[in-house]
Amino acid sequence: MNTRRHLLPPMLSVCVAFALLAAPGRGQTLPGTQPLTMTGDLSAQMVAGIDKFLDRELEASVATRAQFWKRDFTSAEAYEKSVAPNRERLRKIIGAVDARLPVKELEFVGGTGTPSKIAENAGCTIYAVRWPVFDGVHGEGLLIEPRGKAVANIIALSDADQTPEQLCGLAPGLAPEGQFARRLAEHGCRVLVPVQLSREDTFSGSTVLNRWTNLPHREWIWRMAWELGRNPIGYEVQKVLAAVDFFGTPNSGSARAGLETGAPIGIAGYGEGGLVALYAAALDPRIKATVVSGYLDSRQKIPSEPGYRAVWSLLKEFGDAEIASLIAPRPLIIEHRRASETAGSPKPREGRRAIATPGKITTPDFSSVEAEVARAKQLAGKFGDKIEFIYGTEGATISPSSDKWLASLFTSLGLSLRLVEPAPMPVDLRKDFNPAERQRRTVKELEDYTQNILHACERTRAANFWNTIKATNAATWETLLPKFRHDFDENVMGQWNNEPVALNPRSRPAVSVLTGAPLLPDTVSVAAHDVTLEVFPDVFAWGVLLLPKDLKPGERRPVVVCQHGLEGLPEHCITEDKTERAWAAYKAFALRLAKRGFIVFVPHNPYRGQDAFRTLQRKSWALGRHLFSIIHAQHGRILDWLETQPFVDAKRIAFYGLSYGGKSAMRIPAVHERYRLSICSGDFNEWVRKNAATDYPSSYLYTGEYEIFEWNLGHTCNYAEMAALIAPRPFMVERGHFDGVGVDEWVDYEYAKVRRFYAQLGLASRTEIEHFWGPHTIHGEGTFDFLHKHLNWPKK
């Protein structure tokens, strides 16, 4: 994290400062600050400002991507070599990283009552097939064999709302000209049509738990996969590349099966299939020609698309144009076809929780697609003429499709074929075939595979983290910490390195966001001040400073930064009104600590506003950042300011947060070592499992917090690893036995690693866990003692 300091405005003398603090008036500001004149909901204004900041960063990303590319146009071979690092980074961020199984043959899918040869006519025969991809995971779909020798091997990908049968003309739903798999076969191509994860929600849930959601199948897999560095896009690309392995490897199973290994390989996809086709061709040069229909566009609005399209850090290095440039110098045909539009997720119905990420798919304007195609051609340099753009009259979409791209595809594959009229539709020989069972297999195979990765990821963390640490004392660990902390800050959280603006502190006597009334009456022994600090353009930090009125001139006291939870406000940590809902969770812990003599600062973190703040996370993901990347920057400025105050002992600043504030207690002090102590309340957990496990009722797979997931955390940092980044500073967990965020067994399992590590450093006394008989709430007993002990502040 960038911790560059900025000089504050000149401070009043210490004596004058304490005189003002001792008897604050309603119109007074804190010494060294300007008047705070903002009105209204500062929380909403904070979220709106961050949104503006992120929008600018998204817009700027198009130009800044160039720094990641070193294209060499001297020859096709030189170009392929020069973009190889970009190709590998794309492979990583879509999660296409697992080794595939060899494909010796395509397996026929059928049974005693269901034939594997499902249709034939004068031009072709259609089989139900599958092929191995990973252990327990198959590609599955239809294989169309032409009569006579195949002139090409084509992988045809439908949209997620279509079935292979529709693409082959075996089921209703598509006009004949839209059945492009059948059209390809009629021209002598061997065509493989994989099944796609659908947008239905039928299998998004758990039979064991009897818990069901309205998550599209694509998002159901996306949620669990994202936490583990995987993505359904990557999974589907891997299924395609496994088919390419079969078709494209000399002496492979395709040769043994009598298939022509010399036939060129092409790929064509529409809608979600177009997305997969684009990525697959970008990763694998064995694909000689590519058709992308109804998909390619500027991806700058990806945060408003369905959640399952999210790709970690995509826009930092790639838009569709950059991905298209990875296909060069091979031919790419882009068809401006009406998108498979969707207004959102499946409508909630009885027995299913409505938790899906909002987002829609619309047909992009021609001008937007045209501009992205022009960018792709420019990026591809002298190979840009290999990119062809097909569209209707005056930029109209082509609907449902046209034969023009067929002719271009054949030419791109070196084939001289005359286009023929569509043949009579074949008839499905299967009786009462229902594609739902095949979709269930597709979903459950990927679900089980991802759960196996979840179970194994702890070993990866151990190999990359714990097993590399030989430190047996604090001094040795502190020499190793910078590398681990940098890796966490830069590669896991994604820090902002933007130049900070002037701090410009502003203050006023604190008022309630909810009522507009003074936050504390003058009769209380503590004074409360709203404080704002500038972070980046349009981004500010805001919190409430609580100052005991018995502060003496020249006295410096320890500070406790008290952090609220989800949808909370600073005032929720302060209110003593036991009729308010906030009391049940927070127990006025910030005010109670101030009454014990601590200086207390209660920041506002921007996880309030439901979809408004969750959109910030989606925008951040696209740039390789998290919402916590902004929060880290805000806390850096808070620490900058607190350290300069005449009443603060900068060596004794602690962090204490509940719930989402507990998440903050794990992530913020892990980066900001100026927090000398951290207490995680109501959140410490086997966090990765909580996010990705299907067998836990309170898993985030079953809740509406779609922003909660953190890319590849399972292979990098669970909570024990984060706590190690806090060490050797004191660390404590506060845990209610009936806190639904987790179960004691999980919490204690993860905490045992923390305790062991502190003991390894000879610092077992610096970490504690307190269990209490209660729910998701501040307990405020052992934690308060912990603060007094480690901040060296006497109890009153």
Output the pLDDT for position 250: 59
Q: Residue 733: is its pLDDT beyond 60?
A: yes
Residue ranges of the alpha helices (H) in 587-683?
589-595, 611-622, 627-644, 660-671
Q: Residue 247: is its pLDDT beyond 90?
A: yes
**What would the pLDDT profile of 527-547 be if each residue is shown by its tens digit?**
999 999 999 999 999 999 999
Could you count the other beta carbons within 10 Å of the beta carbon of residue 463?
11
Output the pLDDT for position 24: 41
| Pairing outcome for strands 557-563 and 648-658 | parallel
Res. 417 pLDDT band, cuts 50 70 90: confident
Q: What is the rounded average pLDDT for all residues in the chain? A: 93
Output the pLDDT for position 12: 36
- Give percent above pLDDT 90 in the chain: 88
HSE value, Cβ hemisphere, 13 Å, CA-based, for 148:
9
- The average pLDDT across 765-790 equals 98
- The average pLDDT across 440-469 equals 97
User: Which tokens hold the place of 706?
Assistant: 């779609």
Cα gap 234→276, rounded to integer Å: 8
Q: Residue 298: is its pLDDT beyond 80?
A: yes
Q: Which of 334, 338, 297 is nearest to 175 (CA)?
A: 338
Q: Residue 23: is its pLDDT beyond 50?
A: no
Res. 86 pLDDT band, cuts 50 70 90: very high
**What would the pLDDT profile of 772-781 be if each residue is shown by its tens digit?**
999 999 999 9
- Omega before 329 within 30 of 0, i.e. cis: yes
| φ and ψ at residue 612, rounded to 5 degrees | -60, -45
Q: Are 389 and 84 in contact (CB under 8 A)?
A: no
Cα gap 794→559, rounded to integer Å: 13
Q: Residue 411: is its pLDDT beyond 50?
A: yes
Q: Residue 3: is its pLDDT beyond 70?
A: no
Res. 202 pLDDT band, cuts 50 70 90: very high
Beta strand ranges found along 89-123 (DSSP E): 107-108, 117-120
The position carrying tokens 């979600």 is 272
Angle (CA) 657-659-665 rounded to 5° is: 40
Q: Residue 5: is its pLDDT beyond 90?
A: no
Q: Are 358 and 343 in contact (CB under 8 A)?
A: no
237 by Cβ neighbours in 10 Å (0-12 / 13-18 / 19+) ranks as buried
Output the pLDDT for position 418: 87
User: Which tokens hold the place of 317?
Assistant: 């290095």
Output the pLDDT for position 718: 98
Q: Which residues in 642-661 are b (16+ Cβ under 10 Å) and which e?
A: bbbbbbbbeebbbbbbbbbb
**What would the pLDDT profile of 670-687 be if each residue is shown by its tens digit?**
999 999 999 999 999 999
- The average pLDDT across 329-341 equals 96
- The average pLDDT across 58-73 equals 98
